[in-house]
Structures are given as structure tokens and as C-alpha cells.
Amino acid sequence: MRIAMVGAGYVGLVSGACLSDFGHEVVCIDKDADKIEALRRGQIPIFEPGLQEVVANNVRAGRLSFSPDIKAAKGAKAIFIAVGTPTKADDGQADLTYVRAAAREIADIVNDGAVVVMKSTVPVGTGDEIEAIIADRAPLKRVSVVSNPEFLREGAAIDDFKQPDRVVIGVEDEDGRKVMREIYRPLELNQTALLFTSRRSSELIKYAANAYLAMKVAFINEISDLCEQVGGDIQDVARGVGLDNRIGYRFLNAGPGFGGSCFPKDTLALMKIAKEAGAPLRLVETLVEANENRKLAMARKIVKACGGVKGKTIAVLGLTFKPNTDDMRSAPSLTIVPVLQAEGARVVAFDPEGAKSAKELLPDIEFADGPYSCVQGADALVIITEWDAFRALDLARVKAALRQPIVVDLRNIYRREEMIALGFHYESLGRGRRGDKARRS
């Protein structure tokens, strides 16, 4: 099938590359001419494991191409919209400016009988609006508008697309259903569930799923705080809770709060949607507030562990919102680092992939070229992102490099007992000293 992907950002590029790997002929379209030229040269603008190879293989096979012109979508049986839907600064709503613009341009070139597929995360009812835009500009053309939300984890997006838990497809007519089933036939042959719903249900599924996962993160963070006060171990508690099949262990890792392109944006948008519908989601409202408070609390934790940070050098390992990505959107570091600086700290940081993006967002910090140069001469080490490269550091070397042996581990990647035995003043999450005393006694 000939497919056009309007938007060559994270979702559009990953989706387009994977669809071409299924055997479809895909053109990714983006107004950013520099991005398109870079993609044609084989330069991938984002860090995503495996994406470079998938793109290169399908470009070489002639199944994947790139264009800055919407006319490249002419003749496509399916046209996906995968443009950005950023949060509006004033009210938290999803900004549909790019979605509407894409719909208008598509309407001017779309073929009769084609399917327009909404891949971007959009509020409930957006499909109806897109359908109306196309009908107004192309009244004589029969076009199906479908919702097909993405569920891609940054750092594991290729596997998530090719081996998904499910594929959600919101359709309102049989033509749309047939085309979508054909697009995803390779997955259906591998027993992947294709969940067909109404278009509005599909739009809501994406928001509801992300809000629920975000609540698991916020919940375990609050239980972590409780563990510190009463002497529990959050990792034991999380494992004991997660072994319940009704709950599951995933997303039950204590940390400095969630970030990224989805959870913060989607929880705000869902909160706004619910308020406007007269069905406020109090849990989601509390969740949003709790996550912002969490990031500030982590900054205070660092300051306390150091006995104040004024005039001190703090080494930070990891700036991206999660490992295996260069994405800095809503990363906890964007809250934590400025607080440390406001308290008078000098911050030196290292991130394996996020330095380029971080330099634009955190211009007043210094960047090291590796973890050991980062900690050299620092008064404390703070681990914000759990990159694999940080999980097996030479701790004797780290201790020798630090001016004071203070480590604040916001991801619990080291064992508390071992760090204390090595002579570190070690602060982690949800593993309070009361628990240590109880075990020693």
C-alpha cells in the first residue's frame, strides 16, 4: 500500500520507518526542509535505538522516502497525520494548530476513497473536526477519517511498533476498517490484537492509558516517601505489590517524577477535556500537582544531603527524562538543576545522548565528556537518569574523585548497604535509615 506520513518528528519517523519495514511504500513529509535533506542523507534527527538501521534499510530498498511537499502524498491510500500537539501555555489544552493545518493541506490533494489517519495525540472529538475540514474543502470526495493512537516508549519504539500489546483503531465506516486492517495485516498474522472501536473511544484510550501509567509513577513515589519515614524498603514494597497480576510491576519504580513528551502533556490535556465536559477528574488533577511537587522535593533532598549547596560543585549524571533517548521535554532535571543553581551551586553534568538538547535548556551549567570527569572535584554526585553506563561505575574511583563522598541516587540504582560500606554518605529513595537499623539489629 502507498502511505504518506505527514510529520517526520519522533512519532512520524518511527511509524513511517516501521510501516515501510512491513513492505508498504511510505513517504514521510515535513515542512522543515533542513530536516528532510538531513534524512535524505541518512542523518536521523533523534536518538532512538535501532531507528538508523530501519530507515537506512528501507531507503535502500526503495520503500521509504522523504519530501517537504504535501503533494508527495498524492495517490496515497492512507495519509497519516503525525504532527505535534504541544500544550498551550495559557490553559493546558492540546494545541491543534498543526493538526488543522495538515488536514487542510491534505484535503486539497487527497484521493477519493482514501483514509486519513490521526496518529497525533488529540482531544476527544478532533476526528469529527478533521472530517468536517476535509468535507468542507473536498465535498465531492469520499474520505474516511480514522483514529490510530501511538503507544511508543522512547528508547524502545521500534519493538513497541513491531510487537505491540495491541493496535487501537477508531473507525466510523467499513472502508476505514478495511484499509487499516490491511495496513496492520503483518501484525495480525503474528496474533497482535487489533482493537476496533469508535473514533471517540480511540481518542480517549490514549489519554486514559497515559494518565493511568502516570498515576502508578506518582503513587509509588508517595509510597517511597512513606517508606523513608516508617523504615520500609520501597523496592521490596514495589515488588510485593507488583507481583499481584492485577497490578503488575511496570511503572512502580520510585524516582524524581515523570517527564517526557507524553505523560505531562497528556495528563494536562485530559484534565482540561474533563473539566470542559463537566466530568472533572480529581485523581488526574491531584496527579499533575503531585508530580510537580515531586521534582521540587528532589531538589530539596539534594540540598539537605549536602548540608546546603551554596558555593559547592554538584556533579549530575543524566539529564534526559529517561535513558535511551535524547529527549529533554519536561525532564525532572529541568526543575532540579535550576533550584540547585538558585541555591548557589555550580552544576557540572554528563548525559550520554542529551547534552546537545540540554545545552539549549540549561545554558548555565557546565558539561563534562564522561562520568568520571564529571565527578572530579565535585562536592556531591547526583544521579537523575538511570542510563546503563551509570549502573556499574568504578565506585572507588568515584569516591577518590569527589571532594566529599556524597551520593544522592534518585533512581535507586545502587545498593544502600554497599555504598555505606564503601564510606559514602548515600541518599536514595524509599530506603530510610530506620530500615537499615532494623536489619542490623
Average pLDDT for 211-235: 96
**Could you say which architecture CATH assigns to the domain 209-440?**
3-Layer(aba) Sandwich (3.40)
Tell me: pLDDT of 5 over 90: yes
Q: State residue 439's pLDDT score.
A: 38
Tell me: pLDDT of 233 over 80: yes
The catalytic site residues sit at 262
Q: What average pLDDT does the chain have?
A: 95
Sorted by where each begins, the domain ranges of the chain are 2-197, 209-440
Q: State residue 433's pLDDT score.
A: 61
Q: State residue 372's pLDDT score.
A: 98
Average pLDDT for 43-71: 96
d(CA 282, CA 285): 5
**pLDDT tens string 158-205:** 999 999 999 999 999 999 999 999 999 999 888 899 999 999 999 999
Task: Please check whether the two domains, 2-197 and 209-440, share a CATH topology.
Answer: yes
Q: State residue 91's pLDDT score.
A: 80
Q: State residue 435's pLDDT score.
A: 42
Tell me: pLDDT of 343 over 50: yes
Among the ranges given (88-102, 129-143, 157-171, 207-221), the one the predictor scored with the smallest mean pLDDT: 88-102
Average pLDDT for 360-377: 96
- Record the pTM: 0.91
Tell me: pLDDT of 440 over 70: no
Tell me: pLDDT of 437 over 90: no
**pLDDT tens string 384-435:** 999 999 999 999 999 999 999 999 999 999 999 999 999 999 999 999 765 4
What CATH code would you report for 2-197?
A: 3.40.50.720
Average pLDDT for 106-132: 96
**pLDDT band at residue 438, thresholds of 50, 70 and 90?**
very low
